[in-house]
Each structure stands twice: as C-alpha cells, then as structure tokens.
Structure 1
Amino acid sequence: MESTSPTPPVDLVRRAQRGEPDAQRELIVAYQHRIAGFVYAIIGRSDAIEDIAQLVFIKMVRALAGLQAPAQFESWLFRLARNTCIDHLRRQKLRRIFTPFAPEHENVPEPEGAVGSEELDALRHALAQLRPQDRALLALVQEGRSHAEIAVTLRTSVAAVKARLHRAREHLREHYQPNHEN
C-alpha cells in the first residue's frame, strides 16, 4: 500500500474488520517494518523482534473487529504493540528470576559492518536504564509522532506526554556517557 499518508484509509480498516484476508494482509505489510522498529526500540534485542511483531499482528487480526474507531487504527495498533512488548518484558523478567543461571545473550557480536561504536553502546546502555514505557514514548517520538498522537496512543493527556518525555530525556542524559572509562 503506497500512500503519502502514514494512516491507512478507513475503508481498508473496515474491510479488515469484516475479516477480509487481503485487507488484513495489506495492513500487516504496510506496518510490518514500523512495528518491528518500534518493538526493537522497546525490547532492545534483535533476537525477539520478529516473534513479538508477529504476535502483535496476530493480536491485531483477532481484536480488529472490536476496534470502535477505524480512523484511530494506527494509534490502536501501536498501543497493542507497546502492551505486547511490556508483557514480553514482564515474562522475561519472571523467567530470569526463576532461572538465575540461564545464560544471557547480551554479548552477541554484531554482524560485520554494523555500527558498534562506543557511543552506540553507551546509548544502548542508557536506553536499557529506562522503563519500557519510557522507551516506547521515545520510540514514538523518534517515529515522528506529534504529542497529540502519542497522547491518543498512550491514552493520556498531551501535558502528561510532555512531562513524561521530559523526564525520559533527562534520565537518558543522566545515563548516557560515551567514551566513559571505568
């Protein structure tokens, strides 16, 4: 679906709500890369992105009929993705608590030619210090969302979005230390 507007036409969403497989597939294709990027911004690990994104789209197809406002599809989808990521992180945390000797996969080498600078590592470390909700907020901003769109997605006020964004950025600044020698 090529269009200048990032939001799908309401009629496409309505067709998908009625269970038309082609319309559902078109929505998935239109959003697969953006959802994967959003998931990565929250989860921070590339090994889980595809599985979580796929789960988001499975949930989308199952819950689409209950979407009351098709014009709000995009906000609804990103809220669904955010909640799926947070659920994943909760399960992962519980798994770590009950399997303390499970190997961690945080030191997986990056592919040849990938950005692996100290600055990127410092940024990853700083982002890891944020709550998943704050990483989701920053990911929505990075995606180019307005404060009003983010407020709709997160079901909060624009003032709350601005305050949370300010705190998240401050927290990020506190923890971002490129070229820091230990």
Structure 2
Amino acid sequence: MQQSDTPELTNTVRQAQAGRESAQRELIIAYQRRVAGFVYSVLGRTDAVEDVSQIVFVKMIRALPKLDQPAQFEPWLFRLAKNACIDHLRRRRWQQLFSPLEQEEHAEIAEIPTSVDSEELDALRHALSQLKPKDRALLALAQEGYSQNEMAEATGISVVALKARLHRAREQLRQYYEHAF
C-alpha cells in the first residue's frame, strides 16, 4: 500500500528536488487525494481542505531540496501536512476569538451524509473535534494504513510514545463518541 519504498518514487523525488516541474506535478497528482483525506481527517471540515492541502504542496515544493533522504518522502510529506493542519487550527482559534458571529454563520452549513446515519456521523465528528489536533493526526495516519514505524517518523516521536498516544487517542475517541449517545 505504501509507496515510500519504491525506486520509482525515490527517482521522482530526486528529479523534483532538482527542480523538474513535471516531477513535482507528478508528486502532487500522486498524493493530492491522500493529503486531502488526511487534512480532512485532522480538521474535520471540508471548507479548509483545499486551502490547507494547497499550502502543504507549496511547502513541499519549497522544502524538497532540503529533504536529505528521498526514500523517506512520504512520512516527510505527511509531517508537513500535520504541521499545516496544526497551524490552520491555531489560526482558526485566534479568528474565533475575534469573529464569533462569522463562525456561527459557517456552522449552519452542513453536508448531508449519504451512507452513514447522520446522527452517528455528527457524533463521530463531534468526538473527533474534542481530541487534540495531534491525536486526530495520529488517528488519520492509522486509518490511512501506515505502520507504527512510519507514523512515528511522520510525527517525530518514538514508536513507544506513538503506541501510548495512539491507544490514548482511541480510548478518548471512544469515550467522547459513547458520551454523545
């Protein structure tokens, strides 16, 4: 499932590092859905996914020359995504302090789920929103199918610490979700 080990990906990353636009475009196309899904999992809002994903890819292109190990591109990219999400949440928190009425207007806009009971989906979204952004990022990486080693590398923590935080995040999510019903 993970592409981070493939020689083709490593070659594409090296070409992108050298400034080849077609290689950069190839990386963006290959990862845009996964990054957007990750961003949505962390933020829990569709209105910011496109903007934050775009920020991730702009940062990726700017920072690619500094990536020392092209084979580690994927965990590095998702670390950029995690940091961009956290930055966005911090900015949003400050904006909420200064414009609470505007936030209430946006809160009225809701998507209609198609295959999941809307009460369950709302409860899950609410439960996820109660978690710390870093914990939501861990759960999103786990949902994407990353190994614990890859997740630890992407988040910059040890595997032991990752296991503990992931367990704690799942337990908190379960408690928040059960409390919603």
Q: Normalising by the residue count of structure 2, what TM-score does the alignment of the two structures yield?
A: 0.92
Offset from partner CA, 1:88-130 (integer Å, 9 cap, x none) = 0000000111223323323323247464521111111110100
Unmatched tracts of structure 1, length 5 or more: none
Higher helix share: 2
Q: What is the count of residue pairs matched by the alignment? A: 177
| Percent identity of equivalent pairs | 58
CA distance 1:94–1:177, change in 2 (3 Å)? same
Unmatched tracts of structure 2, length 5 or more: none
CA distance 1:10–1:179, change in 2 (3 Å)? closer
Contact 1:147–1:161 (8 Å) recurs in 2 = yes
Q: Normalising by the residue count of structure 1, what TM-score does the alignment of the two structures yield?
A: 0.91
> 2-side partners of 1:103 and 1:78: how far apart?
28
Instruction: Classify the secondary structure of the residue corresponding to 1:84.
Output: helix
User: Paired residue for 2:60?
Assistant: 60
Q: Which amino acid aligns with 2:69?
A: A
CA distance 1:148–1:176, change in 2 (3 Å)? same
Q: Which amino acid aligns with 1:134?
A: D
CA distance 1:11–1:45, change in 2 (3 Å)? same
Q: 1:178, CA displacement in angstroms?
A: 7.6
> 2-side partners of 1:114 and 1:178: how far apart?
23
CA distance 1:14–1:165, change in 2 (3 Å)? same
CA distance 1:119–1:14, change in 2 (3 Å)? same
Instruction: Classify the secondary structure of the residue corresponding to 1:134.
Output: helix
What's the RMSD between the two structures over aligned residues? 1.7
